[in-house]
Amino acid sequence: MSEPSNNGIIRWFHDLDAEDSGVAGGKGANLAALAQAGLPVPQGFVVTTVAYEALVDSPQIRDAIDHLDALDSTETNTLTAVAADLRSLLESRKFDASIETAITDATASFENTASFAVRSSATAEDLPSASFAGQHETFLGVENEAVLNRVRDCMASLFTDRAVAYRAHNEIAHGDVQMAVVVQPMVDAEAAGVLFTTDPATGNRHIASIDASFGLGESIVAGDVTPDHALVNTQTDEVVEYTISTKTIAVELQRDTITGENTRRIEPVGRRPVETGGTRRIELSPDRRESRVLTDDQLRTLVGLGERAERLLGAPQDIEWALVDGQFVLLQSRPITSLFPRPSPLPVDERLHVYISMGHMQAMPEAMPPLVRDIWRTYTGNALSAAGLSNPTVEAGGRVFIDITSFLRHPGLQSGLIERIAAINEPISAGLDEIVSRRSKEFESRGVTIGALPGYVATAGRVALLVGPAIPRIIWNVFGALAGRGPTPDESWDRLGDLFVGEVTDSETTEGRARAVFEAIDIGRILREAYPRISPLFLAFTLGGWLMRTFPDHADDVNAVGRGFERDVVTRINLGLGDLADVARGHPQVAAALRDGASLTDLEKVKGGEAFVEAFDGFLDEFGHRSTGEIDLSRPRWSEDPSMLHAVVQANLTDEEVGDHRERIRHLESEAEAAAVRLESLADYGLLGPLRRRYVRWLIRTYRDTVYLREYPKQAAARAFTVWRTALLDAGELLAAEDRLNRPDDVWYLRRDELFAALDGKDVNVDIAARRREHARDVGVDAPPVLTSEGEAVRGHVDRGTVPEGALVGTGVSSGVVEGVARIIRDPKVTTVERGEILVAPSTDPGWTPLFLNAAGLVSEVGGPVSHGALVAREYGLPAVVSVPEATKQIRTGQRIRIDGTRGTVELLDVQSATTNEVGTEQPEPDSSRVE
């Protein structure tokens, strides 16, 4: 096989370097690397980007590409039209004579080759962050004379609608991408398929997943056949699963005429073989349909090749393979980009570790930038080091996870921990139960050695010193609440917030305040001061559980006695917003200006505007430190960006009358009193009935005197978060002024030690732009609630019994059934809920509180019975279902749904009526909801 000189137009696999993706594209570079490492790759060559550059070297084509890059990703119709014009221009172009000669000479050098596989290989393809799988064209069974045209078609496929949309979504400039093309002799496969060196369904890095069918792999790629499916443990070589599917057809090489048509255009097969283009589809005989494609030994051989490819290419791989004359060949290999990252740092021992998502526990599972993650890891580490324990936190996918393996290995703690977590987040509890049941040997206790006893004793002693001094005050406060001397929401809660602030406000320098965020928090003092203050809340939750167990058939009444508190933080926020709307109603010009979207500055010029601005400032004085996702300190607080509050006030002006918001609370209070009377009457039976009635009345009174305090600790902590945020932003301002950062908010993309070094005057050698891009990718990935050190995203099963067909299942946290129009909201600053709509959100923390004013119900992707969304929903009597996986993707704005907050189900009533889930563009009718 000769290798003619071609000025870089043609590069053979053995002549390429791993770094040559710029000329060979991702697919070509990977295949070359595999071939040079001795893996079984059919010999081939790459038509390099030199040929592509010549093909697009036209003013008209260059202008069209520039036009494409100038378009916004949301301009889908224009993107599609420009892309179609580009493809047409490229398909009508001819290669230069030198390029044609180089390609034809290369294909002619293969003797006795009937046909070729011609595959696109873009320079922005098979990247760790974007695989571009299926975005560009592949042609199989291409005869020698047709290769040139198919190469051009592959290059034109750089501008398919799907490829253009994919690049726009991943913020990859169209002009920065070029196309190379891989050409190989076509293999006549007896079987083919896909090997994932990591199981993409679970993310487990020690399980390989294989799909296999007879003939060429095109039948699998095109979805024409359900392949056999196997799982292999790469540590033990055990075939842990093999599912034989019913395979009705196979795709094989055409034996006579070969035209080189794209195999995706083959028509459905009939009773007889259909011969079209370079491949044909045949029906399999009944005995082969149910037969196994690969043996266990073949699976192990294939997985071994995949492991070699993964080690060589440095990441888990998605590999297309074929079985030819009993031997495997690898046809292409790309990184698996859909995997959630493994925890970092990984454990130093060789045992399985299990981590739970801190974000899911806090009902805020979104990714956070590096500096914010460092804050929470430092805070958690400081808290545990005070007790003599190591920091159990790790990072993955821009989130913080907590290692709870030691608790799961403790026979006396495992079941109790899983049960208690269920009250906070049911999917986490279900995931833990699933992993400890399936892999019980990993969690067998290895006992406590004599040498370890001093450590346990020391830890117990430190905990006693930390919490012991607070125990008398805890007991005093609990008995005080039982005696009717419950705590009151006074300035003492603000003092609790001051404990979290530590010395952040005391330092006289910007550098000192920034360091204090990480270094100056007295964990012992916080525990000693906070536990006594919040102890009545533990009493309230205990009494709530007792009431639910005592009156299991009257859950609605038990829920009702926990509502209607004007002193509740959530209620105060919503009452304050309602009062603002009433102030605006008292000044018609202000109300009109608000409806037109006027800012606070604009309102000052309107008659009555000063009164409204003064009232708004008063609201911000009390609650301006809150925000959505407020544990993410990089997010603006309401005082910095009040746009969400403006939207809520505008909605109130449209949907409510004067005083409606306060009448609603009075109604809830009346319902609570009536429910209390009903529960008391249920206890009034028999000789001791009057005593039981008074006992229940006393417990309900105690419950109501304490449970409304549930949001006060968060209110206090949120004040501290705002102080921390201000201190770190001030540090960003300082570094930007010194030209160490481009802009102040770059500070969020530093690590703690990098920030300290910069404050010490050292240069910031950090690629902030790359970290911003990484953060943006993390934001777009759903995090699992439970993750293992093997990378497995563990999702347990919660049995709900019989549920309506097609219904989504979650955790019911506020009873009742409501039917209405869904409103998907991912960012409350962009849009709000209209009266009677059902709020569907990825999560809801205290910053989402104003949206509950108009909502008829709640569906959330995360949360549990005591999460913020659940508490607010119960307070307002809204049916609510949380922990509904992918709710914002499964449900569409404008779609009518029915949620059952008792059973935990969400029914999609009119699938066809869905509009779009792009926030801010939906226009459903805000009418109608029906609560049962």
**Which residues are catalytic, by number?**
868
Q: List the 116-122 sheet strands across, edge first.
A: 10-12, 45-47, 179-185, 116-122, 138-142
202 Cβ contact partners less than 8 Å away, ≥ 6 residues apart: 792, 793, 794
Region of 899 please: left (phi>0), alpha (psi -120 to 50) or beta: beta
Cα gap 9→445, rounded to integer Å = 63
Q: Would strands 239-243 and 354-357 be described as parallel, antiparallel, or unpaired?
A: unpaired
Cα gap 816→556, rounded to integer Å = 8
Contact status, residue 54 vs residue 96, Cβ threshold 8 Å: yes
Cβ neighbour number for residue 403 with a 10 Å cutoff: 19
Per residue in 699-721, is it b (16+ CB within 10 Å) or e — as a string?
Answer: bbebbbbbbbbbbbbbbbbbbbb
Q: How far is CA 747 from the centre of its chain?
A: 24
Exposed / middle / buried, residue 180 (Cβ in 10 Å: 0-12, 13-18, 19+)? buried
Q: Is the peptide bond before 345 cis (omega within 30 degrees of 0)?
A: yes
Tokens describing residue 79: 């993107």
| End-to-end CA separation in angstroms for the chain | 78
- Position of tokens 């952040």? 504
Q: Would strands 880-882 and 857-860 be described as parallel, antiparallel, or unpaired?
A: parallel
Three-state secondary-structure class, residue 581:
helix
Cα gap 448→411, rounded to integer Å = 12
Q: Which amino acid is at 729?
A: L
Cα gap 211→243, rounded to integer Å = 10
Q: Would strands 399-403 and 857-860 be described as parallel, antiparallel, or unpaired?
A: unpaired
Cα gap 422→418, rounded to integer Å = 6
Cα gap 862→868, rounded to integer Å = 11
